[in-house]
Amino acid sequence: MNVKLMVDGGAMKPGPAVSQKLGPAGVNINEVIAKVNEATKNFKGMQVPVEITVDSKAKTFEVEVFSPPISGLIKKEAGIQTGSGNQGKIKVANMSIEQIINVAQTKMPNLLCKDLKAAVKITVGSCASLGILVESKSAPEVETDIDSGMYDEQIKNCVTETPEEKRKELDQYFAGIKAKQDLILKQTAEAEESAKKKK
């Protein structure tokens, strides 16, 4: 029998859902949980899809881990909890191409891509819907840069470490964007408040 679950990476706990699905198979649930937690420990703080294949006759099981949804991987890499609710106006992070390559590598086995470059483009596309800048640019601009070969060297060499100087520049650029966004949000809130008072 096959049991599919979404678990907290490295922190699966016994519960009714797990017991109902695995109890009838006659396997040791604590052993299953320990194995799942070991297999998903690199995805701490994320929801991870796992599939547990149980041989109820032999009372044995296998755990297969699938990488979390691409949006979850991006958010973890960017160090944010949630994406933007208004991606056109509100940006929530500024990622480097190296961070994108890191996510693309992790997710590639589950993506229908012919190569890492295609996986990088898919990852950049997902940043658009989350309101995340890449290399201080919008996702469509970066996709054009990828097509033009601007990042071929980093992709070919699977570079996943962002140089410190570059990280500072990206953070500074984003701090400027965030300050402008915060000011607009504050002005909008004040305008709404004063409109309410006039009513």
With 0-12 / 13-18 / 19 or more C-beta atoms within 10 angstroms meaning exposed / middle / buried, residue 17 is exposed
Enter the pTM of the model.
0.73
Q: Where are the beta strands (DSSP E) in 39-191?
A: 47-55, 60-65, 93-95, 132-134
Query: What torsion do the CA atoms of 111, 113, 155, 139 make, to the nearest 10 degrees?
Result: -70
41-61 residues labelled b (16+ CB within 10 A) or e (exposed): eebeebebbbebebeeeeeeb
CATH number at residue 60: 3.30.1550.10
The DSSP output letter for 114 is S
Tell me: do 76 and 114 sit in the same domain. yes
pLDDT confidence of residue 5: 86
Alpha carbon separation from 168 to 39, 94, 106, 113 (Å, rounded): 34, 11, 25, 32
CB 42 within 8 A of CB 9: yes
Does a structural domain hold residue 40?
yes
**Domain that includes residue 58, residue range:** 2-65
Structural tokens at position 194:
């004063």
pLDDT, one tens digit for every residue, the chain (199 residues): 888 888 888 888 888 877 887 777 778 888 888 998 988 887 888 888 899 898 878 888 898 888 778 888 999 999 998 888 887 788 999 999 999 999 998 888 777 788 999 999 999 999 999 999 999 999 999 999 999 999 999 999 999 999 999 999 999 999 999 999 999 889 988 998 888 887 6
Q: Token pair of 77, please?
A: 């890499």
User: How confident is the model at residue 165, as a pLDDT?
Assistant: 96
On whether both 75 and 168 belong to a single domain, the answer is yes
Tell whether 198 is covered by a domain: no
Residues 21 and 90 placed together within one structural domain of the fold? no
Structural domain ending residue among the three candidates 65, 95, 110: 65
Residue 41 has a pLDDT of 84
DSSP conformation class of 25: G
Cα–Cα distance for residue pair 29/99, rounded to 1 Å? 36
Alpha-carbon torsion (118, 123, 127, 130), positive or negative: positive
